[in-house]
Structure 1
Amino acid sequence: MPNILVGEVKAGSKIIKDVITPLGGTLFTKGKILLPRDLDILQAFLIGQVEIEGDQGEASSDGAKTTAKQASPKAGAIINESMLAKTNSPLHDEYDKMLTLIKNSYRSVTAASLPIFELRSQLETLIGYLKDYHVLKFTPRTLKYEDYNYHNAVLSALTSYKIAQWCGYPQKDWMQIAFAGLLHDIGNAKVDSSLLQKPESLNNSEIEEVRRHTTYGYQLLRNVTAINEGVRLAALQHHEKIDGSGYPLKLDGSQIHFYAKVVAVADIFHAMTLERAYRRAQSPYLVLEQILTESFGKLDPVIVQTFIQKSTDLFNGTRIKLSDGRHGEIIFTDRANPTRPMVKIEETIVNLMLERELYIQEIIA
């Protein structure tokens, strides 16, 4: 059938040729059934015409049935995601148990050995609910800035496990990488807590003491069984940088264990999105953009790119809150700019790639 003007296309129509944006990206692929919101997307991208299967009147009638079938699972998914956003899930139950266990471990590690087998058992139970964990969506039940280290540990464990999967590392390393995330900051147990909670800037000697948590961590883990050397090196090396500008040993990229490279990304993300004594929690989308900037010469670029692409892989219709307080839903994500999707707010479409002063503050469901 000849091309149809976008203004004349009806919901339920089936596209028979890929729709390409003016910049050369694929907006919709051949075979897609157009939903009502898709018509807004076509207009927002200034698409003039599309090729539609068969007579449009018939296509709309038949397509409406198909659309209903397709929309139903998506609607169900929205309900499920919304339920997961609440804090009454088994994932939250096991998270809280892990949080209590790691908190007790921090408090006792300088006087007694780590309860490593208990930690492993609870970590395995928690990982069992990983399918319900979304890096950008998950929020613990209670967040107190004085518990930052413990939340960072558990969240870094979950995120490091995810990254290991996404990057295609051998399965035998997944649990050990989760351990690396869980224990990477264990050396903070030997650092004066007043320095870790200090709201003012640290002086040079205080900075040096805080930085020693990396060597303290390696020392505390040196004789612990049930973890491998990669876990110990992650505690030592997670603040090293690819260009050799990190600490404590100023190693370059080839000298840094890949566990430490994974944990570094997870640690930075959660450090910036959790409330701290000296800083408010930041938008996860802004943090991803900062991590992307940081990746040039600092973090492993493959791990960073994979983390950003996978964590922002949300379905259209995901409800969000913008930085100006308005609520809307994601209607299209350009994979070349995954942190700046198009958002529909009532009858207005906001293109975050163009409106750079705005950003997604929070994912609601």
Structure 2
Amino acid sequence: MRLVSVNRLQAGMKLGKKIYNDEGLVLLADGIELTDALIKRLSRIDIGYIYIEDANTDDVVITTMLHDETRNQALKVIRNQFQQMSGASGITKGFYHLDKKFSSIMDSILEDMSSQEDPMIMLADMHTADNYLYVHSLNVCLYTLVLGIAHGYSKEELRVIGLGSLLHDIGKTQIPVKIVQKPGMLSDEEFRHMQAHTEIGYRILKDEPNIPLLAAHCALQHHERIDGSGYPRGLTGPQIHEYAKWLGVADSYDAMTSNRIYKKAMLPHQAVEALYVGSGTLYEQKQLELFRDRVAIYPLGLTVKLSTGESGVVVKIDPSTPHRPVVRVFTGPEDEPVTPYELDLGSALSVVIADVSDNDEAVKST
């Protein structure tokens, strides 16, 4: 499979990986042949990149962190709960209680992830942006758990930080939809309303019988930054709980790599670079270093240009060196076709990825 920007799609290409809607249901199945009408539809629903079938890379298998059943059930629970809460009265005064299914779905998520020997943050499954909040909540949960596992948290600690990350944006259910889903920049007043979601989320979660209090603090503090520039309280480094710091990194990363109405998604390597701008000021350097080591910054199927001038597709990622993948080279320095061969950047240390490209001329699909 090969990862291609939607604006590079051509009729006749076949979809290599399913596309889901915000309910976790399959919108387009893998193997379907793309038509001009389907390509236009994909452009309208704000999906930035998709996987297509490619004879040159048909052995590249894109794995996911969750089984389909677990992912679909998680999104269903999030959607149903958040929709019920939107506009409901009495929520922040303790007159409303969360569905107990959040606890059981967290157990299922942890079971799926524990079955993986060395989980990594891969490019998220392709979803429509009909309701970003549901998919974002699940993505941030998965990314935070990958970091928590790598950090060495116990199962119970992972359960707490997992619930906190899954529910970190629950306060947005009480913010007017016209603000949450506004396609442009928020006014100062709208931004103040949006910022309130952290404290609202805390008030919703703090007295929940099935939700640990630390999970409520994740909702409260996930926008705090170590230099004191965050909100709602302007806390500094040691005042912010460690869980909230991990969550802040994962939340920012998913926001950057998700296609939104008002901005195009960054590729993983671009988002990691953007996060590193805040190293030591917004985020803890050691946490960013672990994050960098657990994220596949060059996703499988991505077309890359090497420092040698050659181009190819990322076909393997070693979890111990995710920034040095194996690239299957198809074109030479002058863009001339060459007999395909694989170059392991983990061994060829003098060669680096100089650029990424979704230009179909770089690697022809056959």
Confirm or deny a common fold (TM above 0.5). Answer: yes
Q: Structure 1 296/181 Cα, relative in aligned 2: closer, same or farther at 3 Å?
A: same
Q: Structure 1 322/354 Cα, relative in aligned 2: closer, same or farther at 3 Å?
A: closer
Instruction: Tell me, in whole angstroms, the C-alpha distance in 1 between the residues paired with 2:314 and 2:82.
Output: 41
AA at the equivalent of 2:314: E
Q: Structure 1 278/285 Cα, relative in aligned 2: closer, same or farther at 3 Å?
A: same
1:158 equivalent in alignment to 2:142: yes
Query: SS of the residue aligned with 1:346?
Result: strand
Deviation per residue, 1:181-227 (Å, 9 max, x gap): 10000000011111111112111111111111111111111211122
Alpha carbons 2:302, 2:356 under 8 Å: kept: no
Deviation per residue, 1:2-60 (Å, 9 max, x gap): xxxxxxxxxxxxxxxxxxxxxxxxxxxxxxxxxxxxxxxxxxxxxxxxxxxxxxxxxxx
Instruction: Tell me, in whole angstroms, the C-alpha distance in 1 between the residues paired with 2:254 and 2:288.
Output: 14
Give, in angstroms, the shift of residue 333 of structure 1.
8.0
Name which of 135, 140, 159 aligns with 2:121: 135
Q: Structure 1 101/333 Cα, relative in aligned 2: closer, same or farther at 3 Å?
A: closer
AA at the equivalent of 1:120: S
Equivalent residues, number: 275
Name which of 89, 106, 110 aligns with 2:82: 106
1:297 equivalent in alignment to 2:284: no
Query: SS of the residue aligned with 1:128?
Result: helix
Give, in angstroms, the shift of residue 150 of structure 1.
0.6
Instruction: Tell me, in whole angstroms, the C-alpha distance in 1 between the residues paired with 2:105 and 2:316.
Output: 38
| Other-structure match for 2:165 | 181
- Mapping for residues 55-66 of structure 1, pairs under 5 Å: none
Instruction: Tell me, in whole angstroms, the C-alpha distance in 2 between the residues paired with 1:302 and 1:334.
Output: 18
| Other-structure match for 1:329 | 314
User: Percent same amino acid among aligned pairs?
Assistant: 24
| Other-structure match for 2:21 | none
Give, in angstroms, the shift of residue 310 of structure 1.
2.0
Alpha carbons 2:60, 2:301 under 8 Å: kept: no
The more displaced of 119-128 and 229-238 is: 119-128
**Structure 1 ranges of 4+ moved more than 6 A:** 78-81, 331-336, 349-353
AA at the equivalent of 1:250: G
Deviation per residue, 1:113-152 (Å, 9 max, x gap): 3434211112211222224664224415xx2223211111
The normalised TM-score by structure 2 is 0.66
- Mapping for residues 90-129 of structure 1, pairs under 5 Å: 91-109=67-85, 110-111=88-89, 113-129=96-112
Instruction: Tell me, in whole angstroms, the C-alpha distance in 2 between the residues paired with 1:241 and 1:229.
Output: 21
Greater per-residue helix proportion: 1
The normalised TM-score by structure 1 is 0.66
Query: SS of the residue aligned with 1:129?
Result: helix
Greater RCO between the two (CA within 8 Å, min separation 6)?
Answer: 2
Query: SS of the residue aligned with 1:345?
Result: strand
Q: Structure 1 233/332 Cα, relative in aligned 2: closer, same or farther at 3 Å?
A: closer
Give, in angstroms, the shift of residue 171 of structure 1.
3.2
AA at the equivalent of 1:197: Q
Give, in angstroms, the shift of residue 334 of structure 1.
12
1:234 equivalent in alignment to 2:213: no
| Other-structure match for 2:47 | none
Q: Over the residues paired in the alignment, what is the CA RMSD in angstroms?
A: 3.4
| Other-structure match for 2:364 | none
Instruction: Tell me, in whole angstroms, the C-alpha distance in 2 between the residues paired with 1:174 and 1:216.
Output: 23
Deviation per residue, 1:136-180 (Å, 9 max, x gap): 24415xx22232111111111112111111112333210110001
Q: Structure 1 83/203 Cα, relative in aligned 2: closer, same or farther at 3 Å?
A: closer
Give, in angstroms, the shift of residue 343 of structure 1.
3.7
Q: Structure 1 159/334 Cα, relative in aligned 2: closer, same or farther at 3 Å?
A: closer
